[in-house]
Amino acid sequence: MSSDRSDEGVPRGRSRSLSTPKTALSDDDVRQANEARNDKLRRSSLSRRARAAKLELRHSAHGYSLIDASRDRVGGRNDLTLDGVESLLPG
């Protein structure tokens, strides 16, 4: 004896949307997010290049530095910018 009632069998819940309401971002927020993403991608790229040259890219409160295998700073500096790091890396 079969029934066409939809309430029999496995109980089904209502589907609910769990998304939060979208808020409009200002142009400054979008610009800052893009700059942060670009900085992160650049640091990652420079870190990979440093590892390929058997160096390590390190960051401190003073800035960036490149560390060689004997744990010495390349150029004796720890206050480099990303541009300075890029100029010291081969290739």
Residue 72 near residue 78, CB atoms below 8 Å: no
Say how far apart CA 81 and CA 73 lie, in whole Å.
Answer: 14
* Secondary structure (3-state) at 59: strand
Enclosing H/E stretch for 84: helix 82-88
Computed over its alpha carbons, how large is the radius of gyration of the chain? Answer: 27
Give the span between the Cα atoms of 35 and 31, in whole angstroms: 6
Global pTM reads 0.68
Interatomic CA distance for residues 56 and 45, integer angstroms: 12
The per-residue pLDDT for range 11-68, each reduced to its tens digit, is: 777 767 676 667 788 888 999 999 999 999 999 999 999 999 999 999 999 999 999 9
